[in-house]
Chain A
Amino acid sequence: MTNEQLQLIRTDFPILTEKIYNKDLIYFDNGATTQKPRCVVEKIEYGYYHLNANIHRGVHYLSQKATEAHEEARTTVADFLQAGKREEIIFTRGTTEAINLVASSFGEAFCTAGDEVIVSVMEHHSNIVPWQMMCERKGAILRVIPMNERGELDIDALKALLNERTKIISVTHVSNVLGSINPVAEIIRIAHQQNIPVLVDGAQAVPHIPVNVVDLDADFYVFSGHKIYGPTGIGVLYGKEKWLNAIPPYQGGGEMIATVTFEKTTYNELPFKFEAGTPDYIGSTGLAEALRYVQKIGLESIAVHEHDLLIYCTEKLLEIDSVRIIGTAANKSSVISFLVGNIHPYDIGMLLDKLGIAVRTGHHCAQPLIDSLGIPGTVRASFAFYNTKEEIDVFIAALKKVVAMLS
């Protein structure tokens, strides 16, 4: 990505020219949510102004058009993940709802007392709590894959955890705290040797690396629209057809039924079986637009540019005395968690904010991970393709100023 291309891309994101306390906004909180390009916002606006009618059931023109747009969005998502069948794409409210859906429905169908579910130590709460809730209901047990001091999952330990009671593994593709890119293909291969399905939490992966769910052989793959430049409130569950057919519906209501009588309801076919109620048919078209935008820039060049930012910022950070980087996996996404001496992350984050720099501080919804590291939290800078080295320079200078104030 040349500097000219980068500057052109930045003009697609109006928010990047905002002033915060009269300073240029530097947005390094992309792991929490990404900014939206103009085309996504325009797509949403167009939807409400020109295509708004409830989908699937209407006989009139607008309903037909809205249905087409929503279903085209499903095809765009399927193509993006390189899924075999568009029916394997379920729209959800986000990653959290997608995991809750699988935990609840898969648990209902396949888990009984004494069965085991495996997650990893670096999971976001949204990939821990839904499984815990299911385990409590079913009397099942949650097992945890540990990691080494660099933040890489211990695959041998995973192998040792597998047994005939293991029903499913649910693991993140990329850690939202450490940036570690986990070897999910290897994990899936190992699990499949024992016929254990795997759910991959792709929330932090899809904005940064190309994903092919068929090559990965993932049984379930989930992500959120808002983390990939799309709208909030829309997300995706990809599931292999055989699994989606084998588990019961998550919620009941309109759309998901075939016939309803007071004695017995039969369910609709995929994907509608899992989409009770009016779906976010405007959000889905916004998401599809975001995916097209990302594909237009190209995930390969995005990965190269973001890796440059990661390396550059890491080097600059390590030039500051007593900076400790949390998460040094060999294979890492553009997320840097760090601490400076004994300074509390909150203090650094608050003062950086005063300088117009948005970073995240705290436990990043991964309390078990933070506790296992014995730290109060981290400061996290997470980059998107619209970030620049110049912004990193400003960030580093600001950090030095802040550290001087707090030391």
Chain B
Amino acid sequence: MTINELQDEIIEEFSAFDDWMDKYALLIDLGNSLQPLEEKQKNTQNIIEGCQSRVWLNAELNNGVVTYQGESDAVLVKGIVSLLIQVLSGHTPDEILNTELYFIDRIGLKEHLSPTRSNGLVAMVKQMKMFALAFKSVNS
């Protein structure tokens, strides 16, 4: 599936909920089931310090596609990390760089990505693209 198809799929999944509590319950589920990072990858190189919560992000390039792994100490943040990985992982650096991430706004969780929330997520999205950019320049 393309990145946008994956985004649309998530939007559809979340649109089934009218109640914010169900939406957040799903986010909590996603957070709790996110594959934890290995302890050695939770290092200072991979950390993105937010004011409120910490996010760790790791990326690898295999066969031309980027695989992301991430984690956070807050479960709601982990839920969004999980969604971002679901959308961006497994795509080429070019695809990732050319993507506009609209799904978070559309599923009503934009507030987590507002720069004033300082939870490390804005920096994480930026870092995901930076990884893609770095892999792209390595490739070329």
A residues adjacent to B (C-beta < 8 A): 21, 343-347, 349-351, 354, 361-363, 376-377, 405-406
Contact = CB atoms under 8 A, between A and B. Distances in A.
Nearest to B72: A344
A347 B25 contact: no
Contact of A406 (B51, B75, B77, B112): B75
B28 A361 contact: no
4 nearest A-B pairs in the assembled complex, by CB-CB distance? A344-B74, A346-B74, A346-B53, A346-B52
Nearest to A343: B75
16 contacts: A344-B75, A345-B74, A346-B74, A346-B76, A346-B77, A347-B75, A349-B52, A350-B112, A354-B21, A362-B51, A376-B54, A377-B52, A405-B21, A405-B24, A405-B25, A405-B28
Interface of B: 20-21, 24-25, 28, 51-54, 73-77, 112, 119
A347 B51 contact: no
Contacts of A406: 28, 75
Contacts of B75: 343-344, 347, 406
Given A21-B20, A354-B24, A376-B73, 11 more contacts: A344-B74, A346-B52, A346-B77, A347-B28, A350-B112, A351-B76, A376-B54, A377-B52, A405-B25, A405-B28, A406-B28
Q: Is the interface of B mostly helix, strand, loop or mixed?
A: helix
Contacts of B77: 346
A361 B52 contact: yes
A362 B52 contact: yes
A401 to B, nearest CB: 8
A350 B21 contact: no
Contacts of B74: 344-347
A362 B76 CA distance: 15
Contacts of B24: 351, 354, 405
A21 B51 CA distance: 25
Contact of A354 (B20, B52, B53, B119): B20
Contacts of B112: 350
B119 A346 contact: yes
A354 B25 CA distance: 13
Contacts of B20: 21, 354
B76 A350 contact: yes
A377 B20 CA distance: 25
Residue among B28, B54, B74, B77 having the largest count of chain A Cβ atoms under 10 Å: B74
A391 B119 CA distance: 28
Contacts of B73: 344, 376
B97 to A, nearest CB: 29
A94 B105 CA distance: 36
Nearest to A346: B74
Contacts of B21: 354, 405
A361 B20 CA distance: 21
Residue among A347, A405, A406 having the largest count of chain B Cβ atoms under 10 Å: A347
A362 B73 CA distance: 12
Nearest to B53: A346
